[in-house]
Every structure is written in structure tokens, then in C-alpha cells.
Amino acid sequence: MPEIKVTPLGAGQDVGRSCILVSIGGKNIMLDCGMHMGYNDDRRFPDFSYITQNGRLTDFLDCVIISHFHLDHCGALPYMSEMVGYDGPIYMTHPTKAICPILLEDFRKITVDKKGETNFFTSQMIKDCMKKVVPLNLHQTVQVDDELELKAYYAGHVLGAAMVLIKVGSESVVYTGDYNMTPDRHLGAAWIDKCRPDILISESTYATTIRDSKRCRERDFLKKVHESIERGGKVLIPVFALGRAQELCILLETFWERMNLKAPIYFSTGLTEKANHYYKLFITWTNQKIRKTFVQRNMFEFKHIKAFDRSYADNPGPMVVFATPGMLHAGQSLQIFKKWAGNEKNMVIMPGYCVQGTIGHKILNGQRKLEMEGRSTLDVKLQVEYMSFSAHADAKGIMQLIRMAEPRNMLLVHGEALKMEFLKGKIEQEFNIDCYMPANGETITVSTNPSVPVDISLNLLKREMALGGPLPDPKKPRTMHGTLIMKENSMKLVSSEQALKELGLNEHQLRFTCRVQLQDPHSDLDTLHRIYTHLKSLLKGYTIQHVPDGTVMVESIVIKVSSSAEDPNNKVLLLSWSYQDEDLGSFLSSLLKKGLPSGLC
Amino acid sequence: MAAHLKKRVYEEFSKVVQIPHEEAPSKKLRLSKPSKSAALHVDLCKASNSTDALQYLLQFARKPVEVESVEGVVRILLEHYYKETDNSVRLKIASLLGLLSKTQGFTPDCIVDDAINTLSNEKSHQVLAQLLDTLLVIGSQLPDTPTIRLRLIHVACKHLSDTYFGVRNKCLQLIYRSIISDYFGDQDPRVRTAALKAMLQLHERGMKIHQVIYEQACRLLSDDYEQVRSAAVQMVWVLSLLYPESIVPIPSSNEEIRLVDDAFGKISHMVSDGSWMVRVQAAKTLGSMLQVSPHFLVQTLDKKLMSDLRRKRTAHERAKELFTSGEFSSGRKWADDAPKEKLDRNTVNLIASGACGAFVHGLEDEMFEVRIAAVEALCQLARSSPSFAEKCLDFLVDMFNDEIEEVRLQSIHVLREISTHITLREDQLDTVLAVLEDSSRDIREALHELLCYTNVSTKECIQLALLELLKNLNKYPTDRNSVWKCLKFLGSRHPTLVLPLVPELLSTHPYFDTPEPDMDDPAYIAVLVLVFNAAKSCPTMPALFSDHTFRHYAYLRDSLSHLVPPLRLPGRKQVFGLDSVDSGSGSASVESAQLFLQQSLHRVSTIQNLEAPEARELLNFTIRDLQRLGELQTELAGAADFCATFLRCQLLLMKALQEKLWNVAVPLCLKQNVTATAAAQQILEETYKLEFLYSGLESRQVATIHHVRLQAKALQLILYARSRQGLDPLISCCEKFLQDVESFQRLFLSELPHLQDSFMDRVCELLPRLTSCKPVEMVKILQSTLRQSGLLQLSLPEQIHRATATIIEPTGESDNPLRFTSGLVVALDIDATLEHVNDPQNTVKVQVLYPDGQSHVIHPKPGDFRKPGPHRHRLITQVYLSHTAWTEPSQVEVRLLLAYSSSSSSSSSRLGWSDGADGVIPPSEATVEGTIPFSKPVKVYIMPKPARR
């Protein structure tokens, strides 16, 4: 049985460091190559030594696919390709290809320049790595090699996020990356066709959540921001530079315009301008509204949102600041947070998921005293709000995707084990398919039942057509006779004559003969004649001949009569038929065994 | 070859290979012993005559037949069938065959041939039909055999030419049932779609669709192809309308639900389909499934994965398995989704309980088309179910913040439509009012419209609404009228809520006099409108007014009488005028007015018996009465007006016919001739108005109007014959008239019986003579018929409304001329409301009349028309004016025209008689052909300046 093997190196029962190995039809594919936000040591990157202890990965991987530009999906890419060593193709969509290096560079800067880490990938490495990227278009089928093909689907989530269908022969796997089934202010909803993959590898961040309608969420968010601003407080919204940030920007921008608010909105600089630039460019990847209105005005050209300068944080009066990174674990958002944490008028809104171990996670869990680096503690007085804005599919969305794709097996990654367990149960109960949730390093093997294509010779097909009924019925299997020839990795079905000819073999006849004892007082000839009339009356539609040389032929079956020496009444019938006439032959023999009816003349 | 074979056989024979005798499995022929059939056979043979045989058969039919013996029975029956000469017995046998083939476990493939064979020799049509019916049964028992299907179809086609309807009927059933539904499972999606569509088409044409298809259609809902799914949604919907109450089982459990509920659940499910076309279709369809049970309806707004229905049912049946909870988190609070306990696996089916959250999904959909469809569906469902309306309120209010304006607008409209069922809470009102700041005029006006119909719960709501409306007024002064109107309704709806606010609103103080507010301030007027309308049904309120308020009331009562109601003020004389009628207007006064209208009409119908002058007098009076009635009773204005116009036509006709000229020689009465001609022309014009200006007419009235028109045409013909000598034009005129008569007959065939004793009735009688005789003679006949024929009785339909148009902008008050350079254009904004106009996009035109008599007709774009309410349209457009230089500023007239040519006219004669008869009377200058002016003209002061060199 052919098998598909899936091994998560990261994101198995965990969020962060997405990296999944898939072996399908003899091809090895790496899905995503991310880093973990919660760690600063070796656990940050996937353990590539799982693939090979020493040496380069090129020999072991056929391709690498990056679903979107979030660092937990692409953060380890330069490390893998340049430091561990991989020269094969890396597939990602156009927006991902454009935005990914910016984020990597930012990541590198923070780790190397700020934290002073050494032995980290360099800017040059990022550039080299990006040179290996092959861009994908939506719904475009890309042939990696003769057998392996990829197809990308829209996934929502962030600009350029894609789900990928990986196909070898008739075996296929879909990897969703992160996706979102509900559209938001700037992106559409994920969509996939009914591709019926063998395995659907889905994220399950919100495995136990069913979110309120997004409108309620939006309204709540705007209300909270508005109230805080009216109180004169400052609002910090930690975001990842790209993705949610743009959605929230559009939301606030339109709200500001409508309500005619004057309080400044800032966006931490650096990434923003470049990123917004790409958002303006890749309009086709956004939602219906933006696509339709960009001719009049590109929604990403903000009027109210300005670039942030570090000094602004101390300005008096209300303001809204979007700052990176999103989980308050480092960088500007953390700095601002430290500045504002002491004032209860201020507010921090966490718009998304926070990995365990980050400050974001801590304060969301109600911790009011934080230990900072250097043994100092920080009192958290400001309001902490949580708004689920992160664009992952919720439980119902995951179910919806499964219904869309109709996979034969389900595999959950990118989520917490307990929650996965719950969803797994639901999926198994609902769709009656197997669902797996491997931990990191654990291999899941799924045996597949691929159909094997066989060429059939046209002559044979035509002959069979002529034999059978008027029309072939696609619903019903039909048996046909032919010879299967396997030659050099290809198979074909031909007629036996042709097979003999091709293989240079002689034809052998296989005949069955049997004797039937029969009590009949007549002479041999008469008996034969009686048999003839008997068969004639029974077997209508067959050609039955009484050949003068003392035999009866039914089609090609020969019947001959002889009487035994000791008892002339005891006749011995000889039947002989060829292998092809097995059915008729065995029927005749059993018929004659019953004896001849008395009424015959 | 044979010789070779034989040789080998002999060889082998001589070798003697003994093969152990094994019982080779042989084919078994199914030959059942006819246990029961034997009895039947005996019975049938015994039967001496056909009645006996029939008796036996009837007896036989009562008893069940075992599966094994069915075939035997069938054989015997067939045998007997061929022998039987009596039709009724053969018929019975044929029907028995059908019954038998339905036996559980019996596959009727073996009797198909026999059944078909019987057809070929059959002479009796009834028996044939019965046999075909049997085949139909057999065919439905053998769904998967294409060969048999083909044969059946072939047979059916052959008998399609039968003379007996029953046979053809059965044939067609056979064809459609076996063909179409079989192709539901075709391998090609296009064929599946076509099969579904064909079935739907059959349904549209009145063919009864069987419920059997339901299951198949449901299966097709999960087809791979979107066209199929889309058609299947329609199919399921149609079936749910046809068999709403039948019970279908829920798979994987032993419960049953109503078909319409099941279908509703399934279609709800399609709202989260992969293809947006299907989603739109599903969302739209949901709206029209009004028979669905309320708890299913409520689920569509519920995103929790629980199905109340299921839980309840299972609670009854398997109380033991009751799970505690499979609760999901809402995503609003952090970490409230940490699983608290190990969850039971037996939680409710998530996906199959499809109705869950269908609308929540639909309203959040990516495509605004789906969202709009969902909003519309919500509206339809909410209108029929107040409790649902209550529930969907929050969702609709949420939609006010949609990113696409069309969706926002639609949801505001929808909320207005269901607003009778609901009361807004403060927070909801808050969200609603936030939209008042929207920069789109359409949205704001739709919202004003909504506020007119909204009920609010507290006085804070009123205050909030007023505040926001004033803000709105301040920001967009052009909204003045709309805001005032909105406050008028708000006040009259909530007098008790306004009452405690009055001192604050009017800023009165118990001890101090406050300064008198500026009377021209629109905001102050707005407040007053609110207060006065509330005061109307709250007699204690005027006590709180200060002096100047009373003065302002008097002023506003005069200047803005449509916004300020009459109040019973202390110390002031109540003025009873027109208003007393409509202030005290209940249903009673409407009824009495209606009665009066009927009586007037009845009185007029007695006119035949009167002498000419009295008749004229009566008509005159009645017309006057009706006009007055229309002014007093707005509900009946349309009807009264219609009658008055109709009677005026009659009066004119009567006058024209009673002129003395008919007895005098032609040259002597040229003057009268002219007046009569003018009368005829006027009648023609009036009839067009009658036909096209009033909505709600039935074909009876239209026939009456056309009748009057024909009379007028006859009159014209006669006058024409008298005035001109030329015979050739007269002949063509006569032909034209005859054509008109014919088309009248054709169009109003069903109405002809009601036109007894009328002009037309007689003309129709004389038609053979008219067509054969000479023009001069024909004119004579017409003349006498016309003069003898009496008045046509007018019957009134339920509701008649006159189309009206009011131009709001330009107001015509401006003294500043609109200056522009001659030869260039200036855009003039036009804002008008149209009431009771059908299809205004095609019929309403703008006419601009320059002082030099030049006139332009402008066709507004379809997009310029909005529909703020039922029977109401709003035209907001721009017309371009241009002219050569003038020395002085002067006024142009702008008015609206109702075009009635081409599409709006159902009659064949579109143009007036005069147009055909090469201009007997030239059309008056102001009218444009085929149009009726229906608004008051507005004068606009313009000044084209000469271009500077």
C-alpha cells in the first residue's frame, strides 16, 4: 500500500515554529519553515537534524512551501536554506515573496542588533534565500517536477496567505497554513474547491472557539477605543506589522472619518510604509470592497494615520498607537507598554492570539505585576482588553473548510493539544473520517488507495463496445477480457492476441473434456440424435449442429457418444470444450448428467 | 478449425481422462410453484362471463400475494388477458399487473416484455392508458436499467399520437418521469443541471412534481458543481412549497420532521456554500419559506452549535444521553475557551443541524450580493413573524455599519419595513443614529424615513434622536424637509415621552422669561414640530408653552401646515376647516365618503331618463361634488378625481352631440363644428389621462375608457366627414376607425358582455354592415348610433390613485437669476417626489420650456430614481439648460411629464386619431405627444449672458 507520511517538526500540538514534513509518492516536501516566538534558544527554530544529521537538506527535500509571511511560518527560512543548506525551490505567493524579506530583516535586526546575538543569519543570507523563491499564483498549477504539482488557493488570514494542494499522481495533501473563513475589512474568505485530498492538514488555533459575528467585534473594538480616547487615555494596540494591523487601520480610519475624531493615530514606523506599499499594490488579493473602490481611492492610503516617532509616546493627550510586535514580547510595543502601563486611563487592546510565555499572554491572564529584565517589576494599571481579531478560522470555519474540501483524513496542527482534542472528536463524529494530531517529531502514516491508470487499446475497447449493450453505463462496472501488460513503468490493457504478438509467445489451447454416463437403450446414433433434439429444444439462440461424422456441436463444444463394451445401454458421452466456453460447457455437462427426458423421439 | 478441434477431441477421448464428477454450480432458473396462481387460474377458467371474471379478479386483488408467486400470477393473468374480450376485465388485469409489480422484493424486469407486447394489440383506449400506467409503475421499480428505460420511452413516444387524452397523458408522464428524474444522476453536471431545470420548468407549467424527487434533489445539494447545486436549491425550495407538511425522516436517527423544516435546514446550509452564486440563491430562497417552524427560524440567527429542537427531542427519548454542554467560547474574552471539562462525544450534530446561524453567515459573507440577499430574506421572514423580527433586530442594526453603502441602505429599508413589530432600545438607537452622519444623502434620508416609523422605549431615546437629528440638520442643511417630517412622526408617535422633555426643549423656566428664539432657525422649527405633534394627542402639554410658543404655533400652522397639526389650544377659537375633517377622520368618515361617491355614481346612471338640460345639470353638479370630495377626503382623492374626469368626458360628449348642428346643413354651422371638434379632441386627451395617470385600474375600467375614446373618435370621424369633401382621405379614416373597433374587440373580449346597450355594443352588431358599406353611409350609421347610445356605467375598483409629482427643488422662489454664458450649459438640480407612478424609469420625463416657446424633454437616468417607500419615488437629477444670449433674465418652466407611449400602453392604438388623419387639429403647443404633464410647473430664473470676447 502506498503511504503518505506527515511529521511536524514544529506546530505539532503547538502554536509557532510551523514546519511540517510530508512524504507523498516518494517526494519529500517541507511545509512552512517558521520560528517560535516564545523561545530565544535553539528551540526557536525547527530541528532540522531530524531530516539529516549532517550535510545539506537539498538531497532530502524536493521543495519547500511557505504559506504566508508571518514569522512563525517563515522565520527560520534563511537559517534553513543558507545556514543548514538547501538549494531546492521554495514556493510562495507573490505578496508573500515581497513582504517576507522585510519581516525577516526586521526580525534579524531585533535579534542581532538589539539583543546582540551572534551566529544568526545575515542580510545577505536573506537575499540569497529569497533568490531561491519561485512565486505562485492563485489557482495556478505549478509542476515542481514531472510528478509533483502544486496549486495555491486563497486563504484570507493575511495578504498573500495561501492554502496549497500538493499532488503526486492521484495522491494529494492540502496544507492550509493559517486561514480565515470569515472575510474582514481588507481580506476575503478562504476558499477551496472540492479537491478531496487524502490528508487535509489544517491549523486549529481556534479549535474550541466560535466567534461572534465580526460586526459585534468591530463595534466593541471601536467603542472601547472611542471611550478611552474621550477619557483622554492612550490606546496601545500591539500588532504584527502586517496583517491585522492593516485591517484595524482601515477600521479606525473609516471610523475616524465618520465620527470626525481628531486624536492622532500612529503606526510604528519602519515596516509600515513599505508594507502599506505592498498592500496598495496587491489589490487583487484584498476583499471585494477594496477591489471595487480602489480606482476612486485606494483604501490603504490613510488620511488619519501617521508614522510614529519614539518621542510621541510621551506626548500629552489621547492617542492611538499601533506598535509591533503583537505579543508584547519585544520591540517597540513593549517599550510603549512599559511607559503607559502605570496609568489606569490608558488601555492596551490585544487583538490576537498570544503565545505562552510572552508578556501579552501574561497580562491577558490577569497578571498585574510583571517581572522585567534586570529584576525590576512593572505594575500594570492600564486596562487590558482582548479582542479576537486574529484572522484564524474558528471551529465552525474549520468544519466549513472540511466540508468544502471533503478530505479522506484530517490532520490538525498549529493549536493547543487540549483544544485540538476537542475538535478532533467533533470532526471524527461529524464527518466520520480519521483525524490526527501528531506532536512534534511524531510521524503519522496514512495509507492511500491511489487509482492506477492503465492504457487500453482502442481496438479492444471497440470490440467490447460492440459486444455489450447499447450504451456504456458509467455507474456500473463491466467485466471485459484482455491482457494486462506491464512494461517499463507503464501499463496497458490489450487483447490477448495482441499481447501474444507483442510478447512473441505462442498461443496454447486449453480444453476440458468430460465423460458423462447415460442410460439409454437406443443405438449410439439414435442417442446422439436424441441428444441433438433435446439440446435443440432447450438451447434456443445457440447454433447446434449435427455433424454427419457422429458428433453434435454446440457452438464449439463437441459431444460424442460411444457405448461401453459390457453394457450397450450404458452410453458414454464425451464432452469437450475449450477454456473460453467454460460456462456453456459446464452447463451442458450438468444438463446431460440429468439424463435425457423420456418423451423424446 | 472445426476439423482440427474434432481431431483433438478424439485424441483426448482415446486417452480417457477421468474427471471426478463434481456438481458444477449451474444457473438456476427461477420457476416458482404457483400456489396462489393455481387457484386464480382455476377461478378464471371457471368464469363463464366477463362479470364473473371481474368479480374473481376483484376478490383476488384484495388478498396480498407472496413474492415467489407473483411471476406465476402475472403469467396467468397475461394468458387470460389475451383471451379476454371484455374491456373492463382487461382493464382490471392491467391495473392488477401494476399492483403486482409493486410487490416488495419483486423485480418486474421479467414482465416488461409481456407488458409491452400487450400494448401492441390493444384497441381500447382506456385499457391502453391503464397499461401505460402499469409500465410507469414498472419503470419506477427499475430505476437503474437504461435499456428498459429506453424501451419504455420508445413505447411512450409511439403512443403519443393516440386520440384519447388519457393515453397521451400517461405517455408524457412516462417520458418525463423516466427521462428527467433519471438524468438527475447523469455523469455530466450540465446534464444534471438541465434535468433539474427541465423539472422546474415542468413545475412552472403546472405539472405536478412528485415528492419522491425530494431525496434526489437533496442529494444534489452536495453536488460538485455549482450550477447543479444552484438548481437543486431551487428544486428543494419548490418541493418545500408543494409539500410543506409531509413528514420526512432525519437520517441517522429515528426522528421525523416536516418537509419544509427539513428543506429550510438544508437550504440554510447552502448559505455557507463554496460558490457565491449558490449562496445568493440560497439566501434569497430562505426568505420565501414562510411556513417554516419558528424554532427553526430562530436558529438561523444562532451561531451556537446546538440545535434546540434536537436537544428537546432527545431529552424526551434518551434522557440518559443528555450531555451537559459542548459550549464554544465567544472570542470576546481571553481564555474563556479553555476547555473546562472533558466533553461528551455525543454532542449534537454540528453541521447537519444546518439552519444554525445561516443568517449570521449570510450577513458576514464576503460578497455583498450575498449580504443583500440575506438582508432581504431576513426582511421577508421578519415581516411574517414578529418574534423573529425582534430577534433579527440586532443583526440588522449591525448591518448599518457594513462597508458597502448598498448594503447599509438596504438594511435601513428593511428595518423600516419591519419596524411595526419592534421597539428600539437605547443602545440600538444609538447605533442607528450614528448613521445620520453618513455623507450619503440616500442613507440619511432612508434613515429619516426609518425614524418616522420607529417606536422607541424611553424619553432618553427621544432626546438622543432629536439631538442627532439637529446635528444632522446643522451638518447638512439640505435635509431640512426630511428632518422636519421625521420629527413630526416622532412627536405624534411618542407624545407621552415628549411631555417630560417639553420645558427643556422649549427652554422655558418656571420663574424667568427666556429670550424668544429665532423663528427662522430651522433647528428651532424642528423642535417645535416635534412638540406640536406630540401636543396633538397630549392635551396637557400646551399648558407648558410660553406665550411666544403660541405665536409661533400660529405662524407655523399657516406656513408649514403639512407639518404642524391643528391643536386645541386654551383660549383660542378652534378653527374648523378642512382640517377638522382630517383631524376627526376615522374610518367612519372614509366610509361615508365612499358611500357618497357610490351614490353620486348611481345617480348619474339614471341620466338616461332625463332630458338633455337636466342631465347636463346633474353631471355638472356631480362633477363639482366629486371634486370637492376629493379635496376633503385624501383617501378617496384618486377615485373621486377619476370619476369626475370620466364624467367630464361624458358631459363633453353629450354637449357635442346635442349641438344643433346635426340637423342643419353643413356649411351653416362651421362655428359649432369647431367647438365640437375641440370637444372631441379634449375628450381624447382626457381619456389618455384617465388611462395612464391612475394606478389600480382593472381591465373593466380600461375598457370603459377605451370605449369613451372610441366614441370620441367616432365623433371626430363624423365631423371630419362633414367638413371635408375629399372622399379618399375619408375612406382611409373610416378604415382606421374600423381597425380601432376591431382592436378594441380583440383587447376587451372578456369585457364586452359588460358593455351592453352601449355605443360599442351597437357598433359591433352593425360591424358587418359597416365594413361592407360606403364611407358616407358608414358615417351616417355612426352618427345615429352615437346619438342614440347612452351613458356607460362606471364601476370603481378598490383603490385608484392618481399619479402625482411635486418638484421640491428648484423651489421657484429665487430672485437671483442663474447666470451662465450663452452657448454653454448650466446644470439645474431637480429634486421631485413622485407618487403612484409605475415604472418611473421609463415614463417620467422632465420638460423645460423656454420663454421663446422652445421646449426640451429630458430623460432622466434610471439611476436617478430612488424608491424611499411603497408607491413613492424620488427623482434627483440634473437637467442641463442652454440658450443663446438674452438681454434680460427671464424664467424657464420646468415640469415633469408622464410618457405613456410604447411600453406603458397596452392598447394597440397609441397615437390619437388626429395624428393619423394628417393633422385635422394640430396638437397644442405645450403638449408633447404621448405625454401628460403631471406636476405643477416651476419657474426658474435664468440669464444666459453673451460670451465675452
Q: A588: nearest CA in chain B? A: B26
Do A135 and A79 lie in one domain? The reply is yes
User: Cβ contact (<8 Å) for A212 and B9?
Assistant: no
Residues of A in contact with B27 (CB under 8 A): 587
Question: Using the beta-carbon criterion (under 8 Å), do A589 and B24 form an inter-chain contact?
Answer: yes
Q: Which of A188, A192, A365 sits opposite B335 (nearest CB)?
A: A365
Evaluate if residue B580 carries a pLDDT over 50: no
Three-state SS annotation for B27-66: CCCCCCCCHHHHHHHHHHHHCCCHHHHHHHHHHHHHCCCC
- pLDDT tens string A549-559: 778 888 778 88
Same domain? For A133 and A255 the reply is no
**Arithmetic mean of pLDDT, B367-396:** 87
CA A267 to chain centre: 36
Out of B304, B367, B398, closest to residue A215 by CB: B398
Kindly report which listed range (A145-149, A500-504, B745-749, B877-881) carries the lowest average pLDDT score: B745-749
Decide if pLDDT at B5 tops 60. Answer: no
- Distance separating alpha carbons of residues A125 and B402, to the nearest angstrom: 45
Range of the domain at A548: 511-593
Q: Are residues A191 and A331 in the same domain?
A: no
Active site residue A203: yes
Give CA separation, B897 vs B365, B444, B902, B936, in Å: 42, 28, 15, 10
What single DSSP character describes residue B636?
G
CB distance B331–A429 less than 8 Å? no
Note the pLDDT of residue B566: 83
Residue in chain B nearest A514 by alpha carbon: B19
Amino acid identity, residue A270? Answer: G
B332 and A212 within 8 Å at the Cβ level: the answer is yes
Nearest to A209 among B304, B337, B367 (CB): B337
CA distance B261 to B13: 75
By C-alpha distance, the chain B residue nearest A473 is B146
Q: Which residues of B touch A515 (CB under 8 A)?
A: 16, 18-19
> Is A474 a domain residue?
no
> Which chain B residues are closer than 8 Å to A421 by Cβ?
339
Euclidean distance between CA atoms B289 and B244, whole angstroms: 9
Residue of B nearest to A470 (CA): B147
Q: Is the pLDDT of residue A578 over 50?
A: yes
Contacts of B398 in chain A (CB under 8 A): 213, 215-216, 219
Let me know whether A72 and A182 are in one domain: yes
Q: Which three cell numbers stand for residue B130?
A: 391503464
pLDDT at B545 (0 to 100)? 84
- Supply A203's cell numbers: 491549523
A68 — pLDDT class (breaks 50, 70, 90): very high
Facing residue for B26 by CB, picked from A399, A515, A587: A587
Q: Which of B6, B349, B403 sits opposite A185 (nearest CB)?
A: B403
B366 touches chain A (CB under 8 A): yes
Predicted confidence (pLDDT) at residue B658 exceeds the cutoff of 90: no
Task: Please report the pLDDT score of residue B856 as a whole number.
Answer: 86
pLDDT tens digits, residue range A333-371?
A: 888 888 888 888 899 988 877 777 788 888 888 888 888
Q: Are residues A369 and A236 in the same domain?
A: yes
List the single best residue of B4, B5, B270, B359 to mutate versus A (max A Cβ within 10 A).
Answer: B5
CA pair distance B339, A395, nearest whole angstrom: 13
Domain assignment of residue A600, yes or no? no
Averaged pLDDT, B863-883: 83
Question: Does residue A373 belong to any structural domain of this protein?
Answer: yes
DSSP string, B806-846: EEEES-S---S-EEEETTS-EEEEEEEEEES-SSHHHHEEE
Tell me the nearest-neighbour CA distance from B374 into chain A, angstroms.
14
- Residue B441 CA to residue B508 CA, distance in Å, equals 34
Section B70-99 average pLDDT: 78
Q: Is B357 on the interface with A (CB under 8 A)?
A: yes
Q: What is the mean pLDDT of residues B537-553?
A: 85
Structural domain count of chain A = 4
Radius of gyration of chain A from Cα atoms? Answer: 37
CATH number for the domain spanning A122: value is: 3.60.15.10
Nearest CA among B186, B225, B232, B222 for reference residue A406? B222
Cell digits for B648? Answer: 367630464
Are the C-beta atoms of residues A279 and A300 closer than 8 Å to each other? yes
* ipTM, interface predicted TM-score of the complex: 0.77
Q: Please give, rounded to a whole number of angstroms, the shortest distance from the CA of B437 to a CA of chain A.
A: 7
Contact (Cβ atoms closer than 8 angstroms) between residue B638 and residue B791: no
Residue A409 covered by a domain: yes
What number of C-beta contacts closer than 8 Å exist between A and B? 174
Mutate which of A551, A558, A560, A588 to test chain B, going by most B C-beta atoms within 10 A?
A: A558
Give the Cα-Cα-Cα angle B259, A403, B279 (nearest 5 degrees): 60
- The pTM score is 0.69
Please check whether residue A67 lies inside any domain of the structure: yes
Looking at A203, A247, A253, A385, which residue is catalytic? A203
Q: Which residue is listed with cell 505562552?
A: A356
H, E, C per residue of B857-915: EECCCHHHEEEEECCEEEEEEEEEECCCCCCCCEEEEEEEEEECCHHHCCCCCCCCHHH
Q: How confident is the model at residue B681 (pLDDT cuts 50, 70, 90)?
A: confident
Residue A598 lies in a domain: no
- The answer, for B146 touching chain A at a CB cutoff of 8 Å, is yes
Q: Is B368 at the interface with chain A, CB within 8 A?
A: yes
B13: chain A residues, CB-CB within 8 Å:
513, 560, 574, 576
Distance CA A394, CA A203 (A): 10
Residue type, A397: G
Asked if B776 reaches chain A (Cβ–Cβ under 8 Å), the answer is no
> Which pLDDT does position A355 carry in this prediction?
76
Chain B, residues 307-326, CB within 8 A of chain A, namely none
**Alpha-carbon separation of residue B764 from B738, B741, B755 (angstroms):** 10, 8, 11
Residue A231 has pLDDT above 50, yes or no: yes
Model confidence at B926: pLDDT above 70: no
Residues of B whose CB is below 8 A from A471: 146
Q: Are residues A226 and A345 in the same domain?
A: yes
Contacts of residue B343, defined as CB under 8 A and 6 or more positions apart, other chains included, come to: A422, A425, B323, B325, B326
d(CA B202, CA B183): 15
Question: With 70 as the cut, is the pLDDT of residue B46 above it?
Answer: no
Cell numbers given for A76:
527560520
A295: in domain? yes
Residues of A in contact with B187 (CB under 8 A): 474-475
Residue A443's pLDDT is 93
| Alpha carbon distance B553, B578 (integer Å) | 18
Inter-chain touch B328–A210, beta carbons under 8 Å: yes
Helix (H) or strand (E) holding A31: strand A27-31
Question: Is the domain of A329 the same as that of A367?
Answer: yes
Q: Mean pLDDT highest for which of A124-133, A501-510, B162-171?
A: A124-133
Closest CA–CA distance from residue B5 to any residue of chain A (Å) = 8
Percent of chain A with pLDDT over 70: 96
What distance in Å separates residue B75's CA from the closest CA in chain A?
Answer: 20
Residue B123 confidence class, pLDDT cut points 50, 70, 90: confident
A549 belongs to a structural domain: yes
Coil, strand or helix at B247? strand
Of B379, B250, B354, which Cα lies nearest the Cα of B300?
A: B354
Provide the grid cell at B482: 426630511
State the nearest Cα–Cα gap between A201 and chain B, in angstroms.
19
Which CATH number does the domain housing residue A587 bear?
A: 3.30.310.50
In this complex, which of B224, B401, B437 lies closest to A194 when CB atoms are compared? B224
Taking the Cβ of residue B228 and every Cβ of chain A, the question of whether any pair is shorter than 8 Å is answered with no
| For residues A178-192, average pLDDT | 89
User: Quick one: pLDDT band at residue A445, thresholds 50, 70, 90?
Assistant: very high
B803: closest CA among B779, B769, B838, B770?
A: B838
Neighbouring-strand partners of residue A447: A3
On the question of pLDDT at A92 being above 50, the answer is yes
User: Taking residues A137-156, what's their average pLDDT?
Assistant: 92
Kindly report the average pLDDT of chain A as a whole number: 85
Residue contact B437–A365, C-beta within 8 A: no
Does B3 touch chain A if contact means CB atoms closer than 8 Å? no
| Same-domain pairing of A542 and A491 | no
Which residues of A fall within a CB distance of 8 Å from B364? 182-183, 213-215
Domain of A344: which CATH number?
3.40.50.10890
Contact A430 B349 (CB under 8 A): yes
Q: What is the mean pLDDT of residues B27-49?
A: 57
Same domain, A416 and A347: no
How much is the pLDDT for B302?
67
Q: What is the pLDDT of residue A73?
A: 92
For residue B399, list chain A residues with Cβ-Cβ distance below 8 A: 215
Read off the pLDDT of residues B425-460 as tens digits, 9 standing for 90 and up.
777 787 788 778 777 778 888 888 888 888 888 888
Provide the mean pLDDT of chain B: 75
Average pLDDT over residues A470-479: 64
- Comparing CB atoms, the residue among A208, A218, A509 nearest residue B329 is A208
- By C-alpha distance, the chain B residue nearest A187 is B366
Contacts of residue B144 in chain A, CB cutoff 8 Å? 475-476
pLDDT value for B3: 56
- pLDDT score, position B7: 56
In one-letter notation, the amino acid at residue A538 is L
Q: How confident is the model at residue B9 (pLDDT cuts 50, 70, 90)?
A: low
- Residues in A closer than 8 angstroms to B280, CB to CB, are none
Instruction: Identify whether residues A141 and A231 lie together within a single domain.
Output: no
Q: How far is CA B72 from the centre of its chain?
A: 58
Q: Taking CB atoms and an 8 Å cutoff, what residues of chain B touch A425?
A: 343, 345
For residues A438 and A562, state if they share a domain.
Answer: no
Q: How many CB atoms lie within 10 A of CB A107?
A: 20
User: DSSP state, B659?
Assistant: S
B674: left (phi over 0), alpha (psi -120 to 50) or beta: alpha
How would DSSP label each residue in B482-499? HHHHHHHHHHHH-HHHHG
Give which of B4, B7, B9, B220 to mutate to test A binding, by max A Cβ within 10 Å: B9
Q: Select the residue of B9, B274, B334 nearest A560 (Cβ to Cβ).
A: B9
pLDDT of B558 above 80: yes
Closest partner residue to B272 (CB to CB) among A400, A556, A586 is A400
Q: Are A206 and A181 in contact (CB under 8 A)?
A: no
- A344 and A254 in a common domain: yes
